[in-house]
Structure 1
Amino acid sequence: MNKTSSDTEKTSAMTQGLLAVWPICLGYIPIGLAFGVLAQKAGLGPLEIGLMSVFVFAGSSQFIAVSMVSAGAATASIIVTTFIVNLRHLLMSSSLSIFLKKVRREKLSLFAYGVTDESFAVNLSRFRHGDWNINAALVVNHAANLVWIASTVMGGYSGQFIPEGAFGIDYALIAMFICLLIYQLRARKYVIIAIIAGVLSVIFSLIIPGNSYIVLASVLAATIGVVFKKQIK
């Protein structure tokens, strides 16, 4: 009886996760293809592109890394820049941690590997509504992961047939982040914090070299939101 109940729960989690993640997967396909094409133009092969998607699995960082490879940047610079850009995952994981206090360390590690901007937005929203669990969240993370890896590799193979800059493929990631932002603007306070983050990001980009201004603007805007959450409604 217990085994039947456990199997039912797993099936339910799989169904819930797939129903929640399919829009992300659809969005990942063109972006993954775009990344694969750009990476191929930068001199990476399909195997290298696939390995990068497995071990980095962060669209924005991968796009930045490829642009730096194209510009002939040093390996150390690419690694440091990627690390700094990915620091935003620290903020996202911290937000999700309050819902995962009873999760075993092994599952938590597997979940943490698959956290992205898109899966974070979906999982956080579902956890807040209460009808969500770690198994469904894992399905969201890793279904998206598989689609991303497959799409980038396909882009790597097809890149040799696509002219550089065709179809506006270099704008695909920006379009995805705009959609994510709109998805988060559920109330006036979120709009205000988004505007603050945008203004700070522009100001810091003029002062701070590299891409670290993105993380700094995000942290500062989030801090302002927490400190003044009663005033910002």
Structure 2
Amino acid sequence: MKKTICYAFVQSLPILCGYLFLGMAFGLLLQKAGYNFIWAFFISLTVYAGSGQFLLISFLSGSVSWFNMAFMTFMLNSRHIFYGLSFIERFQAMGKAYPYMIFSLTDETYSVLCSLKVPDGIDEKKASFFIALFDHCYWILGGILGTIAGELIPFDTTGVDFAMTALFVVIFIEQWLESKNHIPVWIGGISSVGCLCIFGADNFILPSLIVTVSLLLMVKKQMIETGGEQLEC
């Protein structure tokens, strides 16, 4: 168990850097809206959705209606439907951890689990669980630190949210170097750019995911028959 926990912690370190900075940005904005670290703790514990939590700040300040809040949250997080479908069998095999794994499947955790290559002597199911748990703790810690820092010192949050973009770039490069099959990358990239041009920056995520998944399903059988890597993620 100790070896598995240590392995999971090492795998989660890139997320630690990103979640502390972005979580602190959330905490700072929450504190500026008039809420302390207790609110940051419970929101991060129960909501645990980066973009959704930033939207929640606007809702708490009274600038967003219930309907707009629900609709915007759904649009922002609809991509998780696709994440969950690709991991549903793996998570079901984890028994009692199944509900928490669904809840904790963020963008960054999904990326790490997709590229996970567990060495001998490590329990993959337990490693996946602890990676998700560590990531969740990092986000909670970041939010708490942000609200405390906002109360003690003035802080300019400009550019802090770029930490997540940088994190995704690092994960993408690592997966590109380790994977022999880059067809999914090209399909996802071209679909995203095309949908961005058609639907705009605020509405392209869901259409691009639908197009990407559809194209991957079309070419999956051919890739397997030609010796390509099976598209699990």
Question: Is 1:221 matched with 2:212?
Answer: yes
Give the corresponding residue for 2:88.
97
Out of 113, 117, 125, the residue aligned to residue 123 of structure 1 is 113
Q: Do residues 112 (structure 1) and 70 (structure 2) align?
A: no
User: 1:153 maps to what in 2?
Assistant: 144
Provide the residue aligned with 2:187 in structure 1.
193
Counterpart among 154, 159, 165 of residue 162 in structure 1: 154
Task: Report the Cα offset of residue 61 of structure 1.
Answer: 2.4
2-structure distance, mates of 1:153, 1:171 = 20
TM-score w.r.t. the length of structure 1 is 0.78
Secondary structure of residue in 1 paired with 2:185 = helix
Aligned to 1:3: none
Q: Cα RMSD between the aligned structures?
A: 3.0
Which stretches in structure 2 are left out of the alignment for 5+ residues?
229-233
Distance 2:59 2:194 in 1: 24
| Residue of structure 1 equivalent to 2:196 | 202
Q: Which residue of 1 aligns with 2:231?
A: none
1:53/1:139 Cα in 2 relative to 1: closer, same or farther (>3 Å)?
same
**1:25 pairs with 2:16:** yes
Asked if the contact 1:96–1:124 (Cα under 8 Å) also holds between the matched residues in 2, the reply is no
Q: How many residues align?
A: 219
Question: Structure 1: which 5+ runs fail to align?
Answer: 1-9
- Relative distance call for 1:69 and 1:80 in structure 2 (3 A) is same
The superposition leaves residues 72-129 of structure 1 with CA deviations (integer Å, 9 ceiling, x where unpaired) of 111332233123322222211211223345332x221122222111111111222698
Cα distance in 2 between the residues matched to 1:114 and 1:80 = 21
